[in-house]
Structures are given as structure tokens and as C-alpha cells.
Amino acid sequence: MRISWLYVSLTMVLATVLPVDGQGITWSRPLEADPFAPFVRPVEGGGTVSLAELQNPLKGKALEMLLTAEKHLRSGETDRGMEMLRTAVANPQAAPTALGLLGTEHLRQGLNDTALVELEQSVHLMPGNAITQSNLAYALFLKGRDEEGVVHARKALQLDPGGLKSRYVLGKLLLRLGRLEEAKFHLRIAATDIISAGVLLKKLEQ
């Protein structure tokens, strides 16, 4: 089913990967120092969406709250941005994305337990979002829950086979589980655009 604009998506959380540039939003932190890609404003044009997205369209007040919150986060007004996201969680339309953004920011702050709860809630509400699945996979990696992380990383790749950051985190999860050859397969693909994946792969092949 095609609609007139693409819905908002989150980007994968990876501690060693550069972010993707945003649309009209600048970071207060250097790109090399901050791995998290910005919130993406929906753009005009056709796009295919999942049933979950159709049931939870981001528009009007919900979309405005999320965009404003993300703008505060990117400009360094972290407290204002986080407070707006917490408010947005009460809005059924905004809640799945708001929880994902809260989880991402809490990972930045090293609050991994809080981030994990928020990302699990986001995935529960928005299971068809590949990037949210990837975020959760990485959070599980940080907690040492590798088997669970693999499940969500694989789900992310089912939803978006081109997700190189998902490949990278899957490779790291598999490596820690001792599945060396499978880990190298995914790291090799991720290394086409992710420097850290290439560095890790080189060490493994020495």
C-alpha cells in the first residue's frame, strides 16, 4: 500500500559507527564522538508501510512533539528533549518512537538498564520497525544477553536486509557466541561501509 509520505524511523544504535546526517538538524557533538544518527523527518513522496505503521501513523501533534524533542536533543538541550519525549510516551501515536528515542539517549548516557526496558517496550509496540529491532539487539549485546540479541538482529535484517549496522551488531553477537565463520560473514558485509567492522574482521583473519 502506498501513501503520500514516509513515516518517521529510528536509526540503529552502535557505539563505534558514525551517524547519518539529518535534515536541517545539527549535532552539538562532533560526528566522530557521537555514533547516533538523527531522527528523520518524513518526506513527501510515495512509500510502502507496514500494517503496524498504518495503525500508528505519525502526524499532527504526535509528529510535532517528536520532531521538537529531537531538535532539542541535537542542539544540546538534552533535559528539554528528554522531558518532551517522556510526555510523548503518553500519546498512543508517538509512544513507540518516543520510547525508542528515549532508549537511544539513555544508551548514550550509559544507562543501559533503563534503555533496555524502553527499547523492549518500543519493539513490543512497533515490531515491524527494523531499526528499533536493531537498537534492541545492541542493547542486549551490552547486557551480555547474546542469544536474545541475535534473535532481534536477525529480525532487523529480515525487515531490512541492507542494514549494515544490523550486520555489524549481529557479527559481534555471533563472535561472542563462538560462531566465528558466521560472524565473519556478517562483518565482511558490514565492513563495506563501517570502518570498525573492517578493523575487527582484519584482527580475526590475522
CATH classification at residue 37: 1.25.40.10
Give the residue carrying C-alpha cell 538534552: 78
pLDDT digits (tens, 9 = 90+) for 145-181: 999 999 999 999 999 999 999 999 999 999 999 999 9
Q: Does any domain span residue 188?
A: no
For the chain, the domain total comes to 1
Distances (CA, A) of 123 to 81, 151, 193: 21, 12, 26
> By residue range, what is the domain housing residue 126?
2-145
Q: From CA 98, how far away is CA 118, in angstroms rounded?
A: 9
Domain membership of residue 39 (yes or no) is yes
pLDDT of 27: 27
At 57 the pLDDT is: 58
Does 114 have pLDDT greater than 50? Answer: yes
Q: Is 74 a domain residue?
A: yes
User: Residues 9-64: pLDDT tens digits?
Assistant: 333 322 222 222 222 222 233 333 344 443 444 333 334 444 444 445 567 788 88
pTM, full prediction: 0.72
